[in-house]
Amino acid sequence: MPGKRTDVISWDEFFMRAAVAASLRSKDPNTQVGACIADTNHRILSVGYNGTPRGLEDDEFPWGTAENPLYDKHNYVIHAEANAILNYRGSLKDMDGATVYVTLFPCHECAKTLVQAGIGEVVYLDDKYDGTEDNLISKNILDRCGVSWRQMSLAAE
Ligand SMILES: Nc1ccn([C@H]2C[C@H](O)[C@@H](COP(=O)(O)O)O2)c(=O)n1
Ligand SMILES: [Zn+2]
C-alpha cells in the first residue's frame, strides 16, 4: 500500500497563501493587502482585501494620496482585515480565538476591530510601517488586549 504524501504545506502557509491570493484582487497601486481568518479548527471563515466600499466605483476612484483629504485614498479604502470581518456571514462568536493571516501588519484601527471581533492571534508577512506611530499604537493595542502576533515568511516559488 502506498504511503501518504508528507510534503504538504503547513496550515500557516495554506492560510497565508489564501491571504496573498486575496491581496491580488486589490486595486491599490501602492499597497495590496490580503487577510484570511481561520478558526481554531483550521477552517477558513473569511477573506478580504483592501478596497473601496460597495457602491464606490473602484475603477474611477482616485487611488493616490492628496493634501486635500477629499482626494486621499486613505479616507475611503476599507482595510483588508476589516473587509475579512465584514465579509463573514456567520456568527461573530466563531471568531473567538481565531487567527488572522494578513500580508501587512494591521494598522491601529484594524487592531481595535480585530480585538473587538475576538481574534486571538495575528500572523503577518510584511511590517513595512514598523516603528511608525500608527504601528506602535497597533502593537500596543494588541499587546494590552492579549492578542499575540508573529511574523512568518513564504518560501519563494
Ligand atoms: N494592515 C493594513 C494596512 C493598510 N491597508 C491598506 C490601506 C491602503 O489601501 C493601503 C496602504 O496604502 P499606503 O499608505 O501604503 O500607500 O493598504 C490594509 O488594508 N491593511
Ligand atoms: Zn487597517
> What pLDDT, in 10s, does the model give residues 3-48?
999 999 999 999 999 999 999 999 999 999 999 999 999 999 999 9
Which of 58, 144, 73, 62 shows the shortest CA–CA distance to 108? 144
**Mind listing the pLDDT tens digit for each residue in 55-99?**
999 888 889 999 999 999 999 999 999 999 999 999 999 999 999
β-strand partners of 102: 35, 124
Distance (angstroms) between ligand 2 centre and the Cα of 79 equals 5
Give the position of cell 494588541. Answer: 142
Three-state secondary structure along 73-140?
HHHCCECHHHHHHHHCCCCHHHHCCCEEEEEECCCHHHHHHHHHHCCCEEEEEECCCCCCHHHHHHHH
48 lines ligand 1 (CB under 6 A): no
| CA-closest residue to ligand 1 atom 7 | 79
Q: Cβ-count burial of 46 within 10 angstroms (0-12 exposed, 13-18 middle, 19+ buried)?
A: buried
DSSP codes, 8-24? PPPHHHHHHHHHHHHHT
Q: Which atom of ligand 1 is nearest to the CA of 82?
A: 19
